[in-house]
Amino acid sequence: MTEGAIERLEATVHGVVQGVGFRWFTVQRATRLGLTGWAANESDGSVRVLAEGTGPALDELLAALSEGPVGAQVARIDHRRLPATGGFTTFGIRSAGHRGD
């Protein structure tokens, strides 16, 4: 992708990531980075994150997700990059098990 091009990051964070403020942590970091999208708890105990923005900002978010907030223990992150849809205006929290945009 070209510098400044908008991309999409889809990530699932595994480990001790629910009940520790992980979604709020993600919202704060993503908002600070100028990203749009959402974070949601999954029924298997993971947190799913969908973010859109520039590649460097997505790289920073991914690095933050690997650390998480105090109390989190990130075991692994499954992720992929895709073309952005541009369908978001903010970054928020979605209800558990949310599917799609």
In this predicted model, what pLDDT tens digit does every residue of 1-44 receive, in sequence order? Answer: 455 789 999 999 999 999 999 999 999 999 999 999 999 999 99
pLDDT at 5: 87
| Active site (annotated) includes residue 41 | yes
| Active site (annotated) includes residue 23 | yes
What is the rounded average pLDDT of the residues 52-75?
A: 97
| Coil/strand/helix, residue 89 | coil
Which residues have CB under 8 Å from 26's CB, separation 6+?
39, 47, 49, 61, 64, 65, 91
Is 35 part of a structural domain of the chain?
yes
Q: 8, 29, 41, 48: which is the annotated catalytic residue? A: 41
Going by C-alpha positions, the residue among 70, 90, 66, 89 that lies closest to residue 78 is: 66
Read off the pLDDT band of 99 (50, 70, 90): low
Q: What is the CATH number of the domain that holds 18?
A: 3.30.70.100
Q: Which domain holds residue 73?
A: 6-93
Q: 8, 23, 29, 48: which is the annotated catalytic residue? A: 23
pLDDT at 3: 59
Is 74 part of a structural domain of the chain?
yes
What is the rounded average pLDDT of the residues 44-62?
A: 97
List, in sequence order, every beta strand (DSSP E) within the chain.
Answer: 6-16, 36-41, 47-54, 73-83, 91-93
pLDDT at 63: 98
